[in-house]
Each structure stands twice: as structure tokens, then as C-alpha cells.
Structure 1
């Protein structure tokens, strides 16, 4: 699928935040973090804004030119570990501060321990040792989901990973996204993460392909 993609900048911040908020309002992990719908509507945008700010500062946001989809990537160096702040392909963390999850909770929703817990749990399963590209989040506006936009955004980075011999990693937060990632060459890495009284997440790893091509 041909999708015009560009790298988002500070001027795109509000657009990206709105897109992520809309895309993940009904996501299983977001629903676990904010089980009350009214609380989710009130607090979820701030969580997405915090994630967006981290990646604008430390990583890369690929944005469909029409604003219908975006992918948030972080580069994890060899030997580096990643301290999570958020949820699944629905958000992890900044990797810069051991107190990141606690700081995120304080900034977004101090009374909600799950804002902090999700970051600590996902950080605990994040692979260490090898350099890799980390797909922190990918969001598609609800009315455009199912059109292949997410796959197109991911493939553009995976092609580069293949050329550079770089692995990629993510956590899938639902069965539908897991199936997409498997088609793109990701495989389960270790054991799934079962959130307390919540949904399952799947850590997934992709080795670079020598051909430099992906198959969807």
C-alpha cells in the first residue's frame, strides 16, 4: 500500500496526541490502565501527550502525510536497557530515568498505580544486550483502521532495519496486532505478560532479513 510518510516534528505534537488518544481509547491495555470510561476520557490524552513528548525528544515519529496514522520508534543501543513508562504498543517509557514510571504517574494521574505499574512490567520483559529499533506505539485513526496503514508505516522502518542488519522489538497488546506483526516477521520473545486482572501482552522480536524486504 502506498502511503506518504514523513517524520513528525514539534509542530505536529497536538495532531499526534489526538491521533493516539483516538486510536487507543478502546485498546485493551489503555482500558486496563483507565478502567473507568470517564477517567479514561479525562486522563488518557495526558498519557499520550507524555509519550509523544518522550519520542519527539529521544526518538522518531513517522506520520502519514494525511495524519491518519503514526508510529513512535526509539533506538535502543547495544547493552542498553529500557525503562518503561507506559503501555505496550500503547506506550512504554523514556529509557532515561529509573524513576520514569513514577514520574509519569505523578504527572498524569497520581492516584492511579497502574500508570506506573505498566511501565515497570513492560520494562521487566524488554530484551537487553543487542541494539534494536523499538516500536513503542503505532496508532491509526479508528475510521481508517483495517486499511493497511499501520503495516505500511512499520514496513518503511523494517526495510531500513534489514539494510542495516538491525533487529526490532515491540509488545503487542491484542491478538489482531499480534497477527500483523507475525506477518511482518516478528516472533514471540519469551513468555507473554499477563497484566494483573487484565489483558495479555506479547513481547515480539524480529531478526533482520538479509534480503532487505518484508512480506505482509
Structure 2
């Protein structure tokens, strides 16, 4: 059965944030930032909703994958030259982040600053977040999202970049033409992230 990929609308933010919250519940970086399972389960949808509403939607590069109308996965991309959040966006997101993460917000800032310091300077499409609901993982939703945006990258002659927060996902991204270009180790005993770059085809 066909998987449909569409651009997200503001009215769909709540639904896509729930999917991403479930997708990232067992993510090593998220577990390190918010070790308590119950708090993490509650916080992640709020965080993804704030990021999408206040930053990603304006870039017109949020995509959803559905089958028979059921939302299975979402991807948050930044177009070339737009990966950094503005001061206005940061201020809009801050209350949600502080409320959701409570005493763990310092860890979130450490991860964010590490990623910013090592972000490539060359213009590129940035895949900040992609995730499938665990109930449909492996059914092709993520593949449909990747193909949709990477086809555009190739048409534009633009590279793409991401950080994989799971070592087990690195081979998955290699299949789409990404290559590992570095490793980011979160200070203080934190997890590792793999920087991956894809030249256009």
C-alpha cells in the first residue's frame, strides 16, 4: 500500500509531535537529557511541538508520511542557510523547554551548543529530526520521507547533513548516500552523535 508524503500544516503539529515523541522515547541523547521515563514521555511531544511551531514550519520543510490517512512518521528539515534559530524563535520556545525539561535543561543546552559548534558552514539541507512511530517502524515511512527530500536535494544540486543519535541508525543513512564525517561526544559522560554528510547525486 502506498505511503503518501505531504507538507505539514500548523493544524497537524500536535499529531506529528506525538509521533516524534514516541519515536525518540528510547533515543540515547534524549535518555541522557531526561533520564526519567515518565518525564521524558510527557516532555518530548511538547518539545517537538514547540520546535515545529516556532521554527521549522517557517522553513516550509516539515514533511509527514501517511498510509490510509494514518500518520506514521515525520521529518523536520531546514533549508540551506536556515539551520540556526533566531533570537525571536529561541525566546518563543524557551518557556516550553524549561517547563518540559525542568532541572534537565542544562543538559539540553550542552547538547545544542555542541551541535552548533560543529555544524558545517557550507550551505546544505539539514535533517534535524526524522522519526517513525514504533508501531510502524520498518514499514517504509522513513524511507518515503528520506526519498522525498533527497530527490529535491539532488534536483537542486544541494548537499544534506544530519547527526545520527543512534549508532544502529548509521547503516540506514549510509544506504541513502550519507557518509560519516565525524563524531560528537557529549561532555560529562554523555552519548555520541555521528555527523553525516551527503553530496548531491
TM-score by length of 1: 0.81
Per the TM alignment, residue 141 of structure 1 is displaced from its structure 2 partner at its CA by 0.5
Aligned counterparts, 1:10-49, within 5 A: 10-49=10-49
Q: Which residue is 1:148 aligned to?
A: 140
Per the TM alignment, residue 194 of structure 1 is displaced from its structure 2 partner at its CA by 1.1
**CA separation of 1:12/1:99 partners in 2, compared to 1, >3 Å: closer, same or farther?**
closer
Per the TM alignment, residue 179 of structure 1 is displaced from its structure 2 partner at its CA by 0.9
Q: Which residue is 1:100 aligned to?
A: 90
Tell me, what secondary structure is at the counterpart of 2:79?
Answer: strand
Runs of at least 4 residues off by over 4 Å = none
What are structure 1's unaligned runs of at least 5 residues? 84-94, 210-216
Q: For residues 87 and 17 of structure 2, what CA distance do their matches in structure 1 show?
A: 23
**CA separation of 1:203/1:97 partners in 2, compared to 1, >3 Å: closer, same or farther?**
farther
Q: Which residue is 2:80 aligned to?
A: 76
Per the TM alignment, residue 167 of structure 1 is displaced from its structure 2 partner at its CA by 0.5
Q: Deviations over 1:15-71 (max 9, x none)?
A: 111111111111111111101212212322221222221211334111113310111
Q: For residues 23 and 184 of structure 2, what CA distance do their matches in structure 1 show?
A: 22
Q: Which of residues 161, 164, 169 in structure 2 aligns to 1:169? A: 161
Q: For residues 45 and 156 of structure 1, what CA distance do their matches in structure 2 show?
A: 24
Tell me, what secondary structure is at the counterpart of 1:44?
Answer: helix
How many residue pairs end up in the alignment?
Answer: 193
Q: For residues 112 and 89 of structure 2, what CA distance do their matches in structure 1 show?
A: 10
**CA separation of 1:73/1:31 partners in 2, compared to 1, >3 Å: closer, same or farther?**
same
Aligned counterparts, 1:125-140, within 5 A: 125-128=118-121, 130-140=122-132
Per the TM alignment, residue 144 of structure 1 is displaced from its structure 2 partner at its CA by 0.8
Q: Deviations over 1:116-143 (max 9, x none)?
A: 1111111111101x22111010010001
Per the TM alignment, residue 172 of structure 1 is displaced from its structure 2 partner at its CA by 0.5
CA RMSD of aligned residues (A): 2.2
Per the TM alignment, residue 176 of structure 1 is displaced from its structure 2 partner at its CA by 2.4
Q: For residues 167 and 117 of structure 2, what CA distance do their matches in structure 1 show?
A: 21
Q: For residues 4 and 44 of structure 1, what CA distance do their matches in structure 2 show?
A: 25
Per the TM alignment, residue 163 of structure 1 is displaced from its structure 2 partner at its CA by 1.2
Q: For residues 204 and 151 of structure 1, what CA distance do their matches in structure 2 show?
A: 17
What are structure 2's unaligned runs of at least 5 residues? none
Query: In the alignment, does 2:110 pair up with 1:117?
Result: yes
Tell me, what secondary structure is at the counterpart of 1:127?
Answer: coil
Q: Deviations over 1:167-210 (max 9, x none)?
A: 10000011222111111011112x3011231221011111001x
Q: Which residue is 1:214 aligned to?
A: none
Tell me, what secondary structure is at the counterpart of 1:192?
Answer: strand
Deviates more, 1:161-170 or 1:2-11: 2-11
